Amino acid sequence: MNPISPPQNTGAKFLQAATGIVIVLAGLRAASSFMVPLMLALLLTVISLPVLGWLRRIRIPAPVAVILTVLLTFGLLGVLGMVGMVTIDEMRHALPFYLSRFQEVELAVLNALAERGIHLPEGMYADLVQPERILAFLSGALLRAAEFLSTTFIVVLYTVFMLFEAAGFPKKLRAAIGRVDADLSRMAGVVQDVQRYLAIKTLISLATGALVGLWLWLIGVDFPLFWGTIAFLLNYIPNVGSIVAAIPGVLIALLQLGFGSAALAAAGYLVINFILGNVIEPAIMGRGFGLSTLVVVISLVFWGWLWGPVGMLLSVPLTVVLRIALEHTQDFRWLAVLLGTGADGGRETVAGEPPPETIAEAVPSGGG
Q: Determine, yes or no, domain membership for 131.
A: yes
Q: Of 85-94, 113-122, 188-197, give the lowest mean pLDDT range.
A: 113-122
- 156 and 205 belong to one structural domain: no
pLDDT tens readout for residues 209-225 = 999 999 999 999 888 98
- 216 and 84 belong to one structural domain: no
Instruction: Report d(CA 42, CA 64) in Å as an integer.
Output: 20
pLDDT tens readout for residues 310-363 = 787 778 778 877 887 777 777 677 777 777 765 444 444 433 344 433 333 444
Q: Determine, yes or no, domain membership for 87.
A: yes
- 141 and 89 belong to one structural domain: yes
Q: Please indicate whether residue 275 or residue 258 has the higher confidence score (pLDDT).
A: 275
- 37 and 161 belong to one structural domain: yes
Cα dihedral across residues 51, 56, 58, 64: positive or negative: positive
- 301 and 231 belong to one structural domain: no
Residue 266 scores a pLDDT above 90? yes
**So what's the pLDDT on residue 267?**
94
Instruction: Report d(CA 16, CA 4) in Å as an integer.
Output: 24
**So what's the pLDDT on residue 272?**
93
- 272 and 247 belong to one structural domain: yes
**So what's the pLDDT on residue 122?**
57
pLDDT band at 62 (very low <50, low <70, confident <90, very high): confident
Cα dihedral across residues 75, 79, 80, 86: positive or negative: positive
**So what's the pLDDT on residue 144?**
62
Q: Of 27-41, 276-290, 298-312, give the lowest mean pLDDT range.
A: 276-290
- 44 and 176 belong to one structural domain: yes
